[in-house]
Structure 1
Amino acid sequence: MKKWLKRLSPGFLAILFCLISIFALMTMLHMQGNARVINYTGIVRGATQQLVKQEMNSFPNDMLLAHLDGIVSELSTGEGENDLIVLPDKTYQALIQQMQQEWSELKVEIGRVREGQSSRQLYELSESYFDLANRAVSAAERYSEMCVTHSIGVLLCLNGGFIILFILLRVSESRQKKAKMALDLAENASRAKSEFLSRISHEIRTPMNGITGMTAIARRFVDDPEKMTDCLNKIDLSASYLLSLLNDVLDMSKIESGKIQLDEQPFDLTELLNRIQGMFWQKAEDGGVILSMRCEELSVPQVIGDNLRISQVLINLVSNAMKFTPPGGSVTLEARQTAADEKTVSLEFTVTDTGIGISEAFQQRIFDPFEQAQPATARQYGGTGLGLAISSSFVKLMGGTITVHSKPGEGTQFVVSLTLRRSFAGTAAGPQTGKDGTVCDLTGVRILLAEDNAINAEIATLLLEDVGARVDHAGNGKATVDLFSVSPAGTFSAILMDVQMPVMDGLKATLAIRALNHPDAGRIPIIGLSANAFQEDMKKAREHGMNAYLAKPLDPTRLYQTLEQVMIRE
C-alpha cells in the first residue's frame, strides 16, 4: 500500500497543480467577463444620459441610439459584437430586464420628442432609467466581488490541499528514509550479530575442545603425575577462557537491556594497578613483550568507585594490547592524577602498545558491539569483539570517557578518563590469604552446604574438606532450614547457600533461617552461591540476609578468603 502511495503521490500532486492552474485561468477569464459587463453597464448609463441630452436639445443621434440598443440586448442575452457574457446573478438579471423595458419606453419617447412633443416625459423616464442603471452596476460589482471571494477561497483550499499533500509526501519520504535507515541498521546489526555468533561459536568450541581433549589424554596417563598435572593445567586455562567468554556475553546482554548497576566501594588505586600487572607479567614474559606500569603523581590513591568494573576495563585494554603486540614490543599501563579537590579526584589511565595499530576507518566503530577490524582478526587473534564495547559502556556509565589514538604499524594508545570520589575512611579490608600466600586453615570448622546439584556439591565439599573443614550437605532450601533449626547452638560456623534450588530457593531459605528462634539464626554467616553474577543479584542476596555472594564456577582462593572474612569462629 505504501509503495503504491509513493508511486501515485507525484501524480496526485501534478493533477492538483493542473486543477489549480485551470481554476485560476478560468477565474481570471470569468473575472475579465464580469469586468466587461460592469464596464458596459456603466457605458449604457453614461451614453443614455448623453443621448437624452442631445435629443432634448434637438440633436438626433441615431448611431448612438442603435449602439445602445445592441448593448442593452447583449447584456441580457450575451449575444452581440461586444463579447459580453450573461452575468448569472438573479438581481442583476432582474434589473437588466427592467432596463430593457424602460429602454423601449425611452426609445418611444425619443421618437415623440423628435416629432415636436414636450421633452418633460423623456426627462422623467431618463432619471428613472439612470437610477436603474446605477443599481445594475452596483449589483454587477457585488456579484463580481462575491465571485472573487469565492474564487480566493477555492484557490486557498486547492493550494492548501497541494501544500498538505506535498508535506505528507515529504513526511512519508522522510519516514521511509528513516525506516530504510533503521532497516539498514537492523540488517547491519543482524549481520554483525550473525558474524558474532559464528565467532563466538568458534571461540567457545576452541576451549571446549581443549577441555574435552585434555580430559581424554588425562585418562590415558592416570599413572603419569607429570603428564596428568600438565593436562589439568591446560584444562584449567581453557575453562578460565571459556568463563571469560561467558562473562563478556552476559555483560553485553545486561548493557543492552540497561540493567548494569555500579557497586561503588572504597579501594586503593595502587593495589588495583599492581594486581593487573601481576595478572599479565607471566604472559608478557612468555610472549617476549615488555610490560611496564607507571603510577605517578597519585596524591589520592584511595578512592570510591566500582573496583570490579574499572579493573575489567583496564584488563580488557591491557589484554588487547598484549594480544596485538608482537614479540619484542612493549605495553605500558599508566595512571595519572589530573586534578583533585576536597571531594573528587580526576584520573587518566593510559594503555599504550607498540603493536599492529588500528586503521582510521575502524577507529570510528571500534567501540561498537560485535565489531572487529576484519574477519581475519578473529581467526588470527581470537576474541568476540565485545571487550571494547563493554569497556566503553562501563566508562560511560561511570561518567567518564574513553578514546583511542592509533596508526597502522605504529601502535595504539587508549585513554580512559574518570572522576571518582575521594575515600577518607580508608579502603575496605580486602580478602586475606593465609601466611606465605597459602589459603586459610579451616580445620575443625563445620559448614552447612545447601546445594541441589550433586556435582557442584561434590566440588564444594572437596574444596572445603581439602582445607580441613567438615561439611554437612542439604539438597534443597527446606532441608537446609530443617537441619539448621534442630542443630545445637554453635554447630555450624557458616552456611553456603545455593540460590536456585527446588522445594525452597536459597533466598527464601535465608529469610526462614533469619526468622528462626535459634541462638545462631541472626549471626551465622550465610554466603550465597549462584551462576548469576550480576550486581542486582548480589544486592538481592544481601537484602534477603546473606552476608556475601560468590559466583559459580567457584574460585577456590576466593571461596577460602570469603569464608575467612565472614566466618564466626568459636
Structure 2
Amino acid sequence: MKIKHWLQKSIPVLLTVLFCMFSILSLTTIIRMQGNARVVNYTGIVRGATQRLIKQEMKGSSNDKLIGYLDEILMELSTGEGENGLTALEDTQYQELVAQMHQSWKELKDEITRVRRGVDDQLLFELSESYFDLANRTVSAAEQYSETSVNRAKNTLICLCIGFAVIVVLFWIYSRRQKKVQAALDMARHASEAKSEFLSRMSHEIRTPLNGIIGMTEIAQMYPDDRGRVDGCLQKIGMSSKYLLALINDILDMSRIESGKIELEYRVFHLKDMLEQIYGMFQQKAEDSGVDLQVTCGGLASYTVIGDDTRLSQVLVNIVSNALKFTPPGGRVTLEVSQREANDHELSLEFLVTDTGVGISEEFQSRIFEPFEQETDRQYGGTGLGLAISSSFVKMMGGEISVNSRPGEGSRFTVRIRLRRPAQDADLQDTPQKEAKGNMYDLAPARVLLAEDNDINAEIVTVILEENGAHVKRACNGKEAAELFAASPEGYTLILMDIQMPVMGGLEASQMIRKMNALQAKTVPIIGLSANAFSEDIDKAMRSGMNGYLSKPVDMEKLLETVRRFHS
C-alpha cells in the first residue's frame, strides 16, 4: 500500500517537473535566440559601418563619432556589457574572431590617423579589405553557433516529449488497476487544468499542440474499451506532436527566411484533407474554451492542387491559433475557403479567418507581420514570430496576407494565393500505396542493415520493420556498419544510415561502402536518417552516395514506404 501511495504522489510530481523542464527550456531557447540574433545583427553592423567610415576617411571626411560607436560595439560583443543589450556568445571560435577584429580595428584606427596626416591611403584600403573578410567570418561563426544551440535544444525537447509520453502511459496503466478509476480520472483532469493554466503563459505556438495531446490522452483514458475512439485520439495526438515539432522550428525558420535559405516543396495534396487536419487539431481546444469553431470549403473547381501544403497549413494554423487565443468563451472562429478565379491550370483561392475576439488596434495592425511584434497591453504570451513567418511564407508562394480589425469587434485575416492544378483525374502521387497484407506493408524478404547509435531510435525502427516482414541487423556506428557490410555484402538488400554517430558518421560510412570492391557495394540502396532536414544536409547525403533521406523524428509511414520502394 505504501508503494501505491508513493506512486500516486510521485507520478504527478514527475509530470509537473517534466512540464517545468519543457517550458523553461523552450522559453530559454527563445530568449537565447533573440540575443543571438542581435549579436549576429550588430556584428554585421560593424562591418557596414566600418566600410562607410573607410570611404569617408579616404575622401578626407573625418568621423570620430562613428569611430567611438564602433569601439563601443566591438567591446560589447566581447564582454556582453553595454547599452545595446548584446550578449557575449560562449563560443571559442567566435570570441577568437572578435579578438582578431579588435586587433585589426586598432590597426585600422592607427592607419586612419596616418591618412589624416597626409599619408597615402593604399595601406588603409588593404587593411580594410582584410578587416571586412574577418567581419564576414565572424558573422558566419555567430550564425553557426546560434543554429547549433537551437538544434541542441530541439533534440532535448524531443526527448522530454518522449519521456512525458512514457510517464503518461505508465500512469494510465496504473490507473486501470485501481478500484477507484473515476477518482483517478478526476485527479488527472484537475492536473490537466493546472497544466493548461501554467501553459497559458507560454507562447500559443507551443500551447496549442500540447493542449491537443493532453486532451486526446484524457479522452482515450475515459474510453479505454472504445477502440474507435481511442484510435481517433491517437491519430490526433500524432498530428499534434508533428505540429509541436514544427513549431519548435519556428525560430530556425525565421532565421533561414531572412537569409533566403528556405525553399518551398511543391507536391499534390487535397485541400479538404488539410482542412480536416487543422480542424482536428483545434477542435478540443475550442470546446474547452467555449468557442464555436467552423471550417468550411465548397464550390471549388478542384480540391486536389499542387503546392507546399506544409507551409500553407503552418500559415493557417498560426492564424487560427491566434483567433482562438484572443476569442472569449461564447465567441466564434471560422475558417472559410473560397474560389476567386479558376482555369484549367490553376486556382486563385481566398482563405478567410474571422473571429469575434478582442480585436487589434489600428496602430498595431501596421506592424503585426513583423518579427517579435506584440501588443504590449496584452498578457497572452507568445513569441511574436508566428504571423511574421506566415507572412513570409505567403509572399514566397506569390500570395498576399492582410488583416482588418477593430478593438472589441474581432479580427479578419485574409490569405490569397494561387495553387496549380494537377493533370485531369490525377491521383495524389505522394499517397503511399499499401500492399495486400491488410494495413501492413509486405517487406519480406528485405534484409536491412540499420546503423543507429541511439538505442530507443534503433528499437523503434527495428520493431516497425520486423512487424512488416523485414529482417533487421543493427550496427551502433558507421564503422561497425561498414564492417558488417564488408563481411557479407550479399546479406543486405538495404541500409538505413544515421548521419551523426560516434566513431564514424553516416556520410563517411556511406562513402566507405561505395568504395568497396563488391558489386553490391555500388548498388545497395542507402537511406540517410538525421535530425537535420535542411536542403544542404540532404545534398551532402546524396553526394556521399546515399539514395534517399528521412528526417527525424522519422515518420513511420514514410519509412515503410521508402523501404518498400527501394527494396522492390
TM-score (norm 2): 0.55
Q: Return the alpha-carbon distance in structure 2 between the equivalents of residues 208 and 504 of structure 1.
A: 23
Q: Displacement of 1:498 after TM fit?
A: 1.1
1:422 aligns with 2:424: no
Q: Match of 1:496, as an amino acid?
A: L
CA distance in structure 1 between the aligned counterparts of 2:401 and 2:542, rounded to whole angstroms: 33
**Closer, same or farther: CA 567–283 of 1 in aligned 2, 3 Å:** farther
Which residue pairs with 1:496 in the alignment?
A: 496
1:385 equivalent in structure 2: 384
Query: Could you tell me how far apart the structure 2 residues matched to 1:346 and 1:174 are?
Result: 53
Is 1:407 matched with 2:409?
no
Supply the distance in 2 between the matched residues of 1:444 and 1:286 (Cα, whole angstroms).
49
Partner of 1:309: 311
Preserved CA contact (<8 Å) 2:328 2:357: yes
Q: Is the 8 A contact 2:446 2:567 kept in 1?
A: no
**Bigger Cα displacement from structure 2, 535-544 vs 398-407:** 535-544
User: CA 1:323–1:296 in structure 2 vs 1: closer, same or farther (change >3 Å)?
Assistant: same
Deviates more, 1:518-527 or 1:408-417: 518-527
Moved more, 277-286 or 407-416: 277-286
Query: Within the alignment, does 1:448 sit opposite 2:470 as a pair?
Result: no
Deviations 1:333-356 (A, max 9, x none): 222232234544322222222222
Distance change in 2, residues 1:388/1:434 (3 Å): farther
Query: Can you list the C-alpha shifts for 1:123-156, whole angstroms capped at 9, x where unaligned?
Result: xxxxxxxxxxxxxxxxxxxxxxxxxxxxxxxxxx
CA distance in structure 1 between the aligned counterparts of 2:342 and 2:65, rounded to whole angstroms: 49
Give the C-alpha shift of residue 403 in structure 1: 0.8
**Contact 2:359–2:405 (8 Å) recurs in 1:** yes
Are residues 466 and 280 of structure 1, via their aligned partners in 2, closer, same or farther at CA, if it must alter by over 3 Å? farther
Output aligned runs, 1:525-536, within 5 Å.
525-536=525-536
1:321 is matched with: 323
Deviation at 1:390, TM superposition (A): 0.9
What whole-Å deviation, never above 9, does each CA across 1:437-481 have from its counterpart, x for those lacking one? 956466765432111233433443344456564421112223323
C-alpha distance 245-271 of structure 1, shift in aligned 2 (>3 A): closer
Cα distance change of structure 1 residues 512 and 276 upon mapping to structure 2, 3 Å threshold: farther
Q: 2:320 and 2:403 mapped to 1: Cα distance?
A: 13
Contact 1:450 1:475 in 2 (8 A): yes
The answer (yes or no) to whether the contact 1:524–1:568 under 8 Å persists in 2 is no
Residues 208, 526 of structure 1: alpha-carbon distance in 2 compared, 3 angstrom cutoff: closer
Q: Residue type matched to 1:549 in 2?
A: Y
User: Cα–Cα, structure 1 residues 294 and 568, in superposed 2: closer, same or farther, change >3 Å?
Assistant: same
Write out aligned runs for 1:215-364 (5 A): 223-225=174-176, 234=214, 243-341=245-343, 343-364=345-366
For the 8 Å contact 1:478–1:509, the answer to whether it is kept is yes
Partner residue, 2:474 = 473
Q: Secondary structure at the match of 1:304?
A: strand
Counterpart contact for 1:262–1:535, Cα < 8 Å: no
- Residues 568 and 443 (structure 1 numbering): CA distance in 2 closer, same or farther, change over 3 Å? closer
The answer as to whether partners of 2:489 and 2:521 remain within 8 angstroms in 1 is no
SS of the residue 1:377 aligns to: coil
Query: Residues 507 and 269 (structure 1 numbering): CA distance in 2 closer, same or farther, change over 3 Å?
Result: farther
Q: Give the C-alpha shift of residue 415 in structure 1.
A: 1.2
Q: What is the alpha-carbon distance in structure 2 between the residues aligned to residue 256 and residue 265 of structure 1? A: 24
Give a deviation string over 1:298-339, Cα, whole Å, max 9, x none. 214343322221222122222222333333333222222322
Q: 1:355 and 1:280, CA in 2 relative to 1: closer, same or farther beyond 3 A? A: same
SS in 2 for 1:336: strand
Identity of aligned residues (%): 49
Q: Match of 1:460? A: 461
Instruction: Sort the Cα spacing of 1:279 and 1:223 in 2 relative to 1 into closer, same or farther, 3 A.
Output: closer
Which amino acid in 1 is paired with 2:431? Answer: G
- 1:211/1:239 contact within 8 Å kept: no
| Contact 1:357–1:406 (CA under 8 A) maintained in structure 2 | yes
Deviations 1:103-125 (A, max 9, x none): xxxxxxxxxxxxxxxxxxxxxxx
Amino acid at match of 1:476: N
Structure 2: distance between partners of 1:523 and 1:288: 58
Displacement of 1:388: 0.9
Provide the C-alpha distance between the structure 2 equivalents of 1:211 and 1:365, rounded to a whole number of angstroms: 38
Q: Residue 552 of structure 1 aligns with which residue?
A: 552
Shift of 1:392: 0.9
Superposed CA deviations along residues 364-420 of structure 1, whole A, max 9, x for unmatched, are 2211112222374344xxx32211111111112222211111122222221112223
Deviations 1:172-227 (A, max 9, x none): 89999x99xx9xxx989979xxxxx9xx9xx9999999987887787788744579
Pair 1:384–1:223, CA change in 2 (3 A):
same
Alignment of 1:43-62 (within 5 A): none
Matches of 2:556 and 2:83 in 1, distance apart? 44
The residue number in structure 1 matching 2:432 is 431
Q: Which runs of 5+ in 2 are unaligned?
A: 1-59, 74-81, 88-145, 179-183, 193-209, 218-236
**8 Å Cα contact 2:340-2:349 kept in structure 1:** yes
1:64-75 equivalent positions in 2, closer than 5 A: none
2:488 maps to a residue whose letter is: S
Is the contact made by 1:345 and 1:419 (CA closer than 8 Å) also made in structure 2?
yes
Tell me the distance in 1 between the aligned counterparts of 2:159 and 2:404. Answer: 36
* Structure-2 change in CA distance of 1:404 and 1:276 (3 Å): same
Residues 346 and 419 in structure 1, CA contact (< 8 A), matched pair in contact too: yes
1:260 deviates by 0.9
Partner of 1:568: 567
Say whether the 8 Å CA contact 1:265–1:305 is kept in structure 2. yes
Q: Provide closer, same or farther for how the CA distance between residues 559 and 415 of structure 1 changes in structure 2, counting only shifts above 3 A.
A: same
Distance 1:488 1:418, change over 3 A: same
Amino acid at match of 2:399: G
Task: Give the partner amino acid of 2:328.
Answer: P
What's 1:153 paired with? none
Tell me the SS of whatever aligns to 2:481: helix
Kept in 1, the 8 Å contact 2:268–2:430? The answer is no
- In 1, Cα distance between equivalents of 2:330 and 2:287: 10
Could you tell me how far apart the structure 2 residues matched to 1:519 and 1:226 are? 57
Conservation of the 8 A alpha-carbon contact between 1:207 and 1:239: no
1:217-241 Cα offsets, whole Å, 9 max, x none, are 8778874457999899659799767
Name the residue aligned to 1:509. Answer: 509
The one-letter amino acid of 1:368's match is E
Change (3 A) 1:213 1:259: closer
Is residue 439–residue 561 contact of structure 1 (8 Å, CA) maintained in 2? no
Contact 2:403 2:411 in 1 (8 A): yes
Q: Render the CA deviation track for 1:479-498: whole Å, top value 9, x for unaligned.
A: 32332344364x44543221
CA shift in 2, pair 1:447/1:273, >3 Å? same
Residues 79-105 of structure 1, C-alpha deviations (whole Å, 9 max, x = no match): xxxxxxxxxxxxxxxxxxxxxxxxxxx
AA at the equivalent of 2:538: M
CA root-mean-square deviation: 4.8
